[in-house]
């Protein structure tokens, strides 16, 4: 699926389904508070009958003149995630099939960029081969922001905070010497650069694309769901620093509102990309179809 914006941006799906009730993801989204939002009636983003957020877990592929950059690697297969049944020990081949439908094999990817190192952004970093985790993308540099790496590595050293995703999806790529640690404003090539967006995690980043004609921001989990454009102060349960996350989101929305730039998060259901507009003192959005 081609998305609007500079260069060629496409979406490769790993999982797409109604996820959970709003308050599971966003603690401030009580049933009453959620019902007051405009997004709550939008059937593209909410399973209204069952009051569940519709979430997509997808990679974004950016084809530039020089590179094929894959942003966020979703949930993955064979991963031990007993707390989330939909993510646990998956064996379907949909992701690699969807990549092929986009005209790509894993060997074509030149860069993998994880906006942060949560389990649903690193899963397809690796695949299980003969009982060992190996990089799924054999020719790619895996780009990780230094601050994010430091935070996740420290968490992995402590048994209380160590997550299985470090062992099965990050450490094997380090061992394969495919990880490149970069600063928060790193430029991959002209028109493709990182921008720090701390809060969801300490080293969370946004990828900024600008081909001189159009601009897009691939924001990862800086915004999980469209309702957070309407309610920027609603941070997710999974934010490391919810207050900072809310500040970063509000500042970002102010920066991009009314500019025509495309905002493409990691979990928005189709049409996946939005343009932020001002709405009184707050924000709203429109999509390509509107
Ligand atoms: Zn996520």
Give me ligand 1 centre to Cα 68, in Å.
22
Give me ligand 1 centre to Cα 72, in Å.
9
pLDDT digits (tens, 9 = 90+) for 107-121: 999 999 999 999 999
Compute the average pLDDT of residues 112-138: 97
pLDDT band at 89 (very low <50, low <70, confident <90, very high): very high
Task: Name the helix (H) or strand (E) containing 10.
Answer: strand 8-18
pLDDT at site 163? 87
Cα–Cα distance for residue pair 90/86, rounded to 1 Å: 8
Of residues 220 and 289, more confidence is placed in 220
Give me ligand 1 centre to Cα 209, in Å.
20
CB proximity list for 130: less than 8 A, separation 6 or greater? none
Q: Which residue has the tokens 């979406």?
A: 11
Give me ligand 1 centre to Cα 169, in Å.
15
Strand 132-135 versus strand 111-113 pairing type: unpaired
Give me ligand 1 centre to Cα 42, in Å.
21
pLDDT at site 64? 96
Give me ligand 1 centre to Cα 222, in Å.
9
Give me ligand 1 centre to Cα 223, in Å.
9
Q: Which residue has the tokens 């920027």?
A: 232
Give me ligand 1 centre to Cα 220, in Å.
7
Give me ligand 1 centre to Cα 242, in Å.
15
Burial class (CB in 10 A: 0-12, 13-18, 19+), 140: buried
pLDDT band at 160 (very low <50, low <70, confident <90, very high): confident
Three-state DSSP class for residue 74 = coil
Is the pTM higher than 0.85? yes
Strand 141-145 versus strand 179-182 pairing type: parallel
pLDDT digits (tens, 9 = 90+) for 13-51: 999 988 899 999 999 999 999 999 999 999 999 999 999
Give me ligand 1 centre to Cα 73, in Å.
10
CB atoms within 10 A of CB 65: 9
Q: Tokens for 101?
A: 């439908």
Of residues 158 and 219, more confidence is placed in 219
Q: Residue 180 pLDDT more than 90?
A: yes
Give me ligand 1 centre to Cα 114, in Å.
10
Give me ligand 1 centre to Cα 118, in Å.
7
What are phi and psi for residue 41, nearest 5 degrees?
A: -100, 0
Compute the average pLDDT of residues 267-273: 97
Give me ligand 1 centre to Cα 265, in Å.
9
Cα–Cα distances in Å, from 134 out to 116, 118, 245?
A: 20, 18, 33
What are phi and psi for residue 249, nearest 5 degrees?
A: -65, -45
pLDDT band at 208 (very low <50, low <70, confident <90, very high): very high
Three-state DSSP class for residue 94 = helix
Give me ligand 1 centre to Cα 32, in Å.
25
Nearest of 14, 240, 5, 10 to residue 121 by alpha carbon: 14
Give me ligand 1 centre to Cα 121, in Å.
6
Give me ligand 1 centre to Cα 113, in Å.
14
């Amino acid at each position: 699926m081609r998305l609007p914006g500079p260069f060629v941006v496409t979406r490769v799906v790993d999982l797409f389904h109604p996820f959970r009730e709003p308050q599971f993801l966003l603690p401030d989204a009580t049933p009453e508070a959620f019902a007051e939002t405009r997004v709550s009636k939008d059937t593209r983003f909410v399973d209204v009958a069952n009051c569940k957020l519709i979430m997509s877990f997808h990679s974004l592929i950016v084809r530039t003149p020089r590179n094929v950059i894959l942003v966020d690697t979703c949930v993955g297969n064979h991963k031990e995630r007993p707390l989330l049944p939909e993510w646990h020990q998956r064996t379907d081949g949909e992701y690699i099939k969807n990549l092929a439908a986009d005209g790509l094999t894993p060997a074509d990817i030149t860069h993998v960029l994880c906006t942060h190192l949560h389990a649903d952004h690193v899963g397809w970093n690796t695949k299980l081969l003969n009982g060992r985790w190996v990089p799924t993308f054999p020719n790619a540099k895996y780009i990780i922001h230094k601050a994010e790496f430091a935070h996740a590595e420290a968490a992995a050293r402590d048994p209380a905070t160590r997550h299985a995703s470090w062992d099965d999806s990050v450490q094997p790529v380090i061992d394969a010497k495919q990880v490149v640690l970069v600063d928060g404003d790193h430029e991959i090539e002209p028109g493709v650069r990182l921008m720090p967006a701390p809060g969801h995690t300490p080293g969370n980043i946004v990828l900024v694309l600008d081909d001189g004609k159009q601009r897009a921001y691939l924001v990862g989990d800086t915004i999980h769901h469209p309702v957070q454009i309407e309610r920027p102060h609603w941070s997710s349960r999974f934010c490391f620093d919810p207050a900072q996350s809310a500040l970063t989101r509000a500042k970002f929305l102010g920066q991009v509102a009314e500019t025509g730039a495309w905002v493409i998060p990691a979990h928005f259901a189709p049409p996946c990309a939005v343009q932020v507009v001002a709405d009184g003192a707050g924000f709203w959005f429109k999509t390509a179809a509107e």
